[in-house]
Amino acid sequence: MISFIVKRIIVSILIVFIIITLTFFLVRFAKGGPFDFEKKVTPEVKKQLMKKYGMDKPILVQYLKYMGRLIQLDFDKSTKYPDRTVAEIIRENLPYSITIGLLSLLLSVSIGIPLGLIASKKPEEKLDRLLQTFSILFVSLPRIVIAPLAIMFFSFTLGILPSGLWGGPLYLILPVITLSIPFIAKIFLLTRNKAISIRSSQFILAARARGLSEQRIFFTHILKNSMIPVIAFLAPGAAMLLTGSVVIEIIFVLPGLGKYFVQAAFNRDYALITGVVIVYSTLLVFLNMLADISLQFIDPRTKIFGDDS
């Protein structure tokens, strides 16, 4: 197990390094530059700006200097916001994005898993069919459709929740619900399907024949094994929440990294684009690593990266 964890950490670090390198070069080789859209910028001024941000040097030199600063957690300066560093922008806005994503994750797990376990007790009956129908519907609907519908119903029709902007914890309720709805549906389906297969398996029948209580069977076998597909989904699911939070932040006009990332793409703000990608990708790789390690603890038979331990 220890060798697997060490191997997984090394692979995660390598993946993050590759992502950083690819992002650095791709944004710089893309058409257009950070100063190409400034109509009032003369060639002389543009030359001085390029020198100020170190873009007048060969691309490989820029890369090596950037990696040197990155080791010190220096994400360079933003060309769109010259009075602020990328680290400051991330530090000020990342907590909002993480809060939305984390609350959505907690809500999704706390609702999706219990509903899946309840539905698995009596499969294909009315409650199960109803939950399946809504789950398939919500999995299919994109958040860009769910968000306006939620605003129209809860804000404009019922008037019980604010439709957007930031004014305290109450303003998080609707964005969190909107972001978590497809996630709840997916976790419900995964839990339900796995729990149904476990309930009808031979070892559950054997456990009942040995006289084990239903409570012990549930916690020892059904619940534990039902978590395997859910945990495997949490890492890519977290990626969906992070990318989905960008859309949610823009629709609900919330503070967060979403708007800065979109604006940075339009403004060709190299440092800001790279900084946000590094933060998001590091979080996602870290979550994937935790999911793989957790699966090894829950089910040691799981084989990842050819691990034979």
Of the ranges 4-8, 132-136, 196-200, which is most confident?
Answer: 132-136
**The predicted structure's pLDDT at residue 88:** 92
State the pLDDT at residue 221: 76
Per residue, the 3-state secondary structure of 67-112, as one string, reads HHHHHCCCCCECCCCCCCEHHHHHHHHHHHHHHHHHHHHHHHHHHH
**Beta-carbon neighbour count of residue 103 at 10 Å?**
19
Confidence of residue 213 (pLDDT cuts 50, 70, 90): confident
pLDDT value at 65 more than 90: yes
Domains of the chain and any CATH numbers: 1-309 (1.10.3720.10)
Compute the mean pLDDT over every residue in the chain, rounded to the nearest whole number. 84
pLDDT, position 37: 64
Rounded average pLDDT over 275-291: 86
Write down the pTM of the prediction.
0.78
Q: Which amino acid is at 8?
A: R
By C-alpha distance, which of 89, 94, 81 is closest to 34? 81
How far apart CA 273 and CA 262 sit, in angstroms, is: 9
How far apart are alpha carbons 79 and 13 in whole angstroms?
Answer: 28
15-64, pLDDT tens digit by residue?
999 999 999 999 888 877 787 765 666 778 878 888 888 888 899 999 99
Helix, strand, coil share (%) of the chain residues, nearest 5: 75, 0, 25
What is the model's pLDDT at position 19?
A: 93
Residue 122 host element (H or E): none
Question: Which of 109, 168, 145, 133 is CA-nearest to residue 244?
Answer: 145
To 5 degrees, how large is the angle CA 246–CA 247–CA 251?
120
